[in-house]
Each structure stands twice: as structure tokens, then as C-alpha cells.
């Protein structure tokens, strides 16, 4: 369905949930995962993004995330991140709840005051003992990087395939209570995030997808087939 501001019907009572994926950071210069030239074309998921891969070759996994973390130093938020931060500032966190699958920090650097990073964050690492201390981290992790709280070994604070994303109870609660749901720059193939639009839809929410690849989007969803950094600054969502 083509975008139509009247039918979007935003009111003072409305509450929005926004889900972003790798496409939101593409215009900042960070490769997506599944587009041509994407990260998973050059790396085997099972080697670098699973608990089994980490057990088998921790150095390879640590170095993979060191490279991702180093990339962040050379990129900046783009107009998509900035527009979403401005929207959240206007509406407040209660009425504009932002969930990202991205592990970069570009929403935060754009000024978003609330960002639920459901797949973890590159700029955090956590210890491997059951206390799960999470610490802010910049730079290069090695096998010798120890937890400042308990001296145990550390791992990237990333949700790998086979692991449960963070804060799922809060996410489900927000999805059940939203009136508007927007998903931007995600291929919608990785669950549970891929199922969020259906949960929001069954709560009666209006749904908007922004993606330059409009294939596979249900015809009942509003669809904007454009890059996020071009579409978002021009849209009146609230």
C-alpha cells in the first residue's frame, strides 16, 4: 500500500514502535549482512556468530568483532538516524520506542535517548562467568582482556545465532500496546525480530515498511521503496 499520511492517522493517543536493521546504517558506510557484498558473503555465520564458533576459535570471533568495532570510528550517523532521533525527541520515549537489531552505536550518537539494542552492542563486552558483568569497551579485545569486576574471561556483548535477544519481555509488551509500527532497513528473515510486525498487526497497529527492496512486504503494510536516509527526513510520521 502506498504511503498516505491521512490513513496513517497519527493522533495524540498514538504510540509508535520502530524496528531498525542493517539498512539504516548502510548509508553511513556499514555493510549490511545479506545484500550483495554483505558481511555474510565473506564470513561463515557459524564460524563468527555462534556460541559454537566462539568455543572452537575464540581468537577468530574476537578479531571479527574487533574489526567491526574499529569500523565504527570512521563512520557517522546519517539522516535516517538523525530523523529518528528528532522524532523520538518530539514524541518522548513512551510514545516512540526504538528497537534496533544493529550492534553499531549510530542511533545513540545521533541523539536517540532510548535505544533497545536487542542483538547487543559492539562497544560492550561481558564476562563469561555467571555474573554476566557487562562493561563499556573501546578498542581491541584479546583473550587476555579480563573482567574488571571478577577477572574472568570476556566475550563480545553480542547475541549470536541460537541465543535469545535482550529484553524480549519488554519488547513484546511494547508491541502489544503500540498503535503504529515501522520497520526500516531489515530483510525480515531473522526471528524473533522478523515476527514483530505480525505481533503489532495483531494488536491492531498500522504498519509501515521503509526499504529500497520492497519485495515480500505484505500488501496491507504501507510501503516506501526508498533508502532510509532519503525517505525519513521527508516524512511526517507524527
Name the nearest CA neighbour of 16 among 196, 214, 218, 164. 196
Q: Is 189 exposed, middle or buried (0-12, 13-18, 19+ CB in 10 A)?
A: exposed
- Per-residue H/E/C for 153-178: EEEEEECCCCCCCCCHHHHHHHHHCC
Q: Name the residue number minimizing CB distance to ligand APR.
A: 23
Measured distance CA(82)–CA(59) in Å, rounded: 35
Binding site for ligand APR (CB under 6 A): 21-23, 26-27, 32-35, 38, 101, 119, 185-187, 190, 211-213, 227-229
For residues 44 and 131, which CB has a smaller minimum distance to ligand APR in the complex?
44
For residues 81 and 95, which CB has a smaller minimum distance to ligand APR in the complex?
81
DSSP 3-state of 135: strand
What grid cell was written down for 140?
Answer: 581491541
Q: How far is the CB of 72 from ligand APR (least distance, A)?
A: 15
Q: How far is the CB of 173 from ligand APR (least distance, A)?
A: 21
Q: How far is the CB of 49 from ligand APR (least distance, A)?
A: 7
For residues 16 and 22, which CB has a smaller minimum distance to ligand APR in the complex?
22
Among residues 81, 119, 157, 180, which one is catalytic?
A: 119
* Sheet with strand 120-127: strands edge to edge: 134-136, 120-127, 154-158
Yes or no: say if 26 and 32 are a contact pair by the CB < 8 Å rule.
yes
Yes or no: say if 131 and 148 are a contact pair by the CB < 8 Å rule.
no
119 is catalytic: yes
For residues 108 and 186, which CB has a smaller minimum distance to ligand APR in the complex?
186
Q: How far is the CB of 228 from ligand APR (least distance, A)?
A: 4
For residues 70 and 189, which CB has a smaller minimum distance to ligand APR in the complex?
189
Q: How far is the CB of 201 from ligand APR (least distance, A)?
A: 18
What grid cell was written down for 161?
Answer: 545465532
Name the nearest CA neighbour of 8 among 236, 217, 186, 170. 236
DSSP character at residue 36: T
Catalytic residues: 119
Amino acid at each position: 500500500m502506498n504511503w498516505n499520511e491521512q490513513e496513517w492517522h497519527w493522533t495524540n493517543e498514538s504510540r509508535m514502535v520502530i524496528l531498525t536493521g542493517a539498512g539504516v546504517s548502510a548509508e553511513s558506510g556499514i555493510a549490511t549482512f545479506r545484500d550483495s557484498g554483505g558481511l555474510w558473503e565473506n564470513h561463515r555465520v557459524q564460524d563468527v556468530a555462534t556460541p559454537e564458533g566462539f568455543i572452537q576459535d575464540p581468537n577468530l570471533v574476537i578479531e571479527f568483532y574487533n574489526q567491526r568495532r574499529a569500523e565504527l570510528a570512521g563512520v557517522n550517523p546519517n539522516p535516517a538516524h538523525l530523523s529518528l532521533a528528532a522524532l523520538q525527541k518530539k514524541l518522548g520515549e513512551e510514545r516512540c520506542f526504538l528497537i534496533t537489531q544493529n550492534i553499531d552505536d549510530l542511533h545513540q550518537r545521533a541523539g536517540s535517548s532510548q535505544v533497545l539494542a536487542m542483538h547487543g552492542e559492539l562497544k560492550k563486552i561481558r564476562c563469561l562467568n555467571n555474573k554476566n558483568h557487562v562493561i563499556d569497551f573501546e578498542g581491541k579485545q584479546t583473550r587476555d582482556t579480563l573482567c574488571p569486576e571478577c577477572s574472568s574471561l570476556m566475550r563480545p556483548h553480542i547475541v549470536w545465532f541460537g541465543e535469545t535477544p535482550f529484553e524480549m519481555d519488554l519488547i513484546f509488551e511494547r508491541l502489544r500496546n503500540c498503535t503504529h509500527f515501522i520497520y526500516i532497513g531489515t530483510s525480515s528473515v531473522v526471528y524473533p525480530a522478523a515476527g514483530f510486525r505480525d505481533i503489532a498487526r495483531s494488536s491492531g497497529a498500522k504498519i509501515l515498511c521503509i526499504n529500497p527492496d520492497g519485495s515480500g512486504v505484505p500488501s496491507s503494510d504501507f510501503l516506501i521503496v526508498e533508502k532510509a536516509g532519503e525517505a525519513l527526513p521527508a516524512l511526517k510520521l507524527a
